Every structure is written in C-alpha cells, then in structure tokens.
Chains A and B, each alone.
Chain A
C-alpha cells in the first residue's frame, strides 16, 4: 500500500489527527505566550530574577520530551486526560524561547529612547505598552515562531501518551513497519511547521521597527 492509497482511504482520519495536532500546538502556544511575555518583561524590569527564571526554563528545555510527558502523568487533573498533559508539556517547552526573546527584545530597545521616554514623564506602563513592547514586537514574534516550530515537532511525541495528533500515524507506521503510514503523519506535520514558519516570518518582517 503506497502513501497515496493510504491517504485516499484514511483521509478523514488524517484530517482529524491534523486538527488535533493543530489544537495542541495552538492552545499550548497561547498559554506559553500568556505566561512567557509577562515573565520576560518581569526579568527585564527586575534583573535579580533573570538568573533563576532563565535557569528554570533552560532546565525544562533539557528534559527529554518523552521523559517530561512521563513525569507529568501523576499530576492531579492534568494527568486525567492525555490531551491536557500534552498541552502542559508543550507549553513548558515553548516558554524558554518566549521568555528569552521578550527579555532580549525589551533590553535591546535603544537606551536613549527609553531615557527620553522616562524623562518626558511616561509612567512604567506607558513606557512598556507605548514604547518597549512595540519596539520589541518583532523579536518577541521571532520567539513565538521558534516555539511554534518546535511544538509542531514535539507534539508528534504526545501520541506516545495517547494524546493523539499526527504522531499517532507515525507510531502506528513504526509498529506496522509501514513507511506510507509514517509519512502520512510526518508529511502533514512537516507542512504544518513550514507553513507556520513562513506565516510568522512574514508577520515578523512587517512588525520590524523602522530603524532611525
């Protein structure tokens, strides 16, 4: 059975798994953005916290993904459903690029601009929302882009704990020693990563600040 006939016969199933995959990546990215950007801002404001926060995110990043999925199994509520577990793990992995890029973006804003803004009497929040975040937006978006591309790949492993997604086809194909089935999972996942990369890259370029 070649890839084409497999896809024709199982098109509905592949589409469902693709949606499931997309959902896991989407939700986890949203949560990571909601946590990572404030954390990045926080460590830019309070340099004392920078070491511990970056270190924690780094440590999470070094845990092998399969092990992290396993570690999280006993967690209450989260562990009840494989989907929740997968989302949590993906969120944790996405945090590092988000925290780091937010921090780099904000501390990278021209000091003269920040000084002028403070001297003019902008409050901390006005400085953040009117000056720092807009000027850091393309760097932050680059972080989101990295996080999404990593997540699409990692989410295939979520199938190992029964969370579904395109990984299911890959694992099934591995068990059946059937390359067509593996490819039916791997190709959509690769396309998804590429599409996200191109789309976010385009937005990133549009957000890049005018340099003076």
Chain B
C-alpha cells in the first residue's frame, strides 16, 4: 500500500475552515522521490493550504497525508518539520539574528558540534550562490534576492530530504527570479531533494516542474508533466496558457 517511490502522498484529503468553507476537496496525488512537483493555481485555489498540511502547520479535516509512507499524524510533529524543509515568499528570516545564526538555528538546536555547524553554514552560503562575507550581516542589510537565497539555505540546513516551497521567488524582480530559478534547478539536480513547489506563475511552473498539479477551487484539475501540460486541451490549462502568453504545443495549434 505504501509505494516506496512516494515521498509525499495525499489520499482523499479535504480541508474545511471552522465556518464550513471547503478549501480542499478530495485531493489525491503522490510526489515521487526526487521530483519537483509544482502546485499551480490562482490565489485561493488551496495550494498553500495543501503545502501546510504536509508539515502540519494545518491539519486536514478528512483523508490522510503521508510523508515517507507514514501518516503525518503519526509523526512527532517536530521531527516531521525537521524532516521537511520550508521556504516561504516572505522568507521570515529572524531579524535579530545574523545570516549565519539564521542558517545555523536548527543545527544549533540539534546540538551539532560548533565546527560542523560553521562548516555547514559556509557550505550552504556558497551552495545558494552567496559570498561568505555575508554571514555576519543582518537580514535588513540584504537585498530581496539575497534574503530569498538565505531562506533557501536555512531550509536546507539540516539536510531535509523533502522541501516545501511556497512562492519562494514570488516577490523578486523578473531577472533575479529567473536567476534563482536556474540556480534552484541546478541545485536540485545536485541534491536530489523531493520538492513541493507552490506558485501561481505558469512560466515558473513549466520551467521548474517535473510534474504540474493544477488546482482550482480546492480541486485537482489535472496532474501532468510539463510537456503534457503544454499539449493539453483541458479548458483551464488552455486559459492559463493564453493568460500567460505561453507557447502552446497543442496539436490543433500547429497548422
């Protein structure tokens, strides 16, 4: 019943607010180990909610979410969250900590030896393409792009096999975003993390996604590879392609 290939699995998951509004409706999909699964959808489609069910910042009303084959409810919540890295658009760097202490927080809490922590921080700073002298700076002294990089480095600090990313590049200018996307792809190929990536940006989805799960009003509309997505004649996908002016590979488009 557990496919060992799946890192994260949604099984008929519903999420309702206390007032009864349904945010997620019977969501089922599985994320394979080492793939980048993009959750694409407009604001309010439930994509962020779905992400937060994975690290139990929220709990589903019914159904089950499995991480490494184990229901999230059966995990110790702290252990679960340390197993799953988390990077968000607002970054949420700790303003009273330097870059180094931000990245080192979880290693410090887990009482890694000081040497190892320091080496890890330096390694991560280089890994996300920053200069090592940035370590002693405070978040308010960084540019938006640098902050996002630090956020990713922090999420990677304890080497979690799974990464949750909620529009991590959403607040950046297009050029910086493009740089970070390219670097992120290269990084992921090296590290082989399983990634759940939330975005409303079709270009980002097509560029980064191994597969794309399209959400609309809490339902999974389609789940396809990026290539299939371009060819799809699903009405909502067609609308997306048109809205973003993306090159469609639909057969009837080529004449």
Identify the A interface with B (CB < 8 A).
110, 112-123, 126, 130-131, 134-135, 209-212
Contacts and interface: CB of A to CB of B under 8 A. Distances in A.
Nearest to B77: A121
B88 A212 contact: no
B45 interface: no
A211 B140 contact: yes
B95 interface: yes
B15 to A, nearest CB: 17
B82 interface: yes
B92 A110 contact: yes
Of listed B79, B106, B142, residue having the most chain A CB within 10 A: B106
Contact of A119 (B57, B105, B140): B57
A82 B59 CA distance: 55
A120 B94 contact: no
Given A116-B90, A212-B93, A212-B142, 15 more contacts: A112-B90, A115-B57, A117-B92, A117-B94, A119-B57, A119-B81, A120-B85, A121-B80, A121-B106, A131-B94, A134-B96, A135-B95, A210-B138, A211-B140, A212-B140
Contact of B147 (A113, A115, A209, A212): A212
A122 B109 CA distance: 9
A126 B77 CA distance: 14
A212 B81 contact: no
Given A123-B78, A209-B96, A212-B139, A116 B91 contact: yes
B94 A113 contact: yes
A130 B105 contact: yes
A119 B95 contact: no
Contact of A120 (B96, B106, B138, B140): B106
Nearest to A126: B109
A119 B55 contact: yes
Of listed A122, A130, A209, A212, residue having the most chain B CB within 10 A: A212
A116 B85 CA distance: 10
Interface in B107-161: 109, 138-140, 142, 147, 151, 154-155
A112 B88 contact: yes
Contacts of B86: 116, 119-120
Interface in B69-85: 77-82, 85
Given A119-B57, A120-B105, A121-B78, A113 B92 contact: yes
B92 A210 contact: no
A135 to B, nearest CB: 6
Given A120-B154, A210-B138, A210-B139, A113 B93 contact: yes
A112 B139 contact: no
Of listed B93, B95, B140, B155, residue having the most chain A CB within 10 A: B95
A120 B82 contact: yes
A106 to B, nearest CB: 14
30 contacts: A112-B90, A113-B92, A114-B92, A115-B57, A115-B88, A116-B88, A118-B57, A118-B81, A119-B81, A119-B164, A120-B85, A120-B106, A120-B154, A120-B155, A121-B79, A121-B106, A130-B94, A134-B96, A135-B96, A209-B95, A210-B138, A210-B139, A210-B140, A211-B95, A211-B140, A212-B93, A212-B138, A212-B139, A212-B142, A212-B147
B92 A115 contact: yes
A113 to B, nearest CB: 5
A128 to B, nearest CB: 13
Contact of B82 (A112, A114, A121, A135): A121
Nearest to B106: A120
Q: Sorted from nearest, which 10 A-B pairs have the closest CB atoms?
A: A116-B92, A121-B81, A112-B90, A119-B86, A212-B140, A112-B92, A212-B139, A121-B82, A212-B95, A113-B92
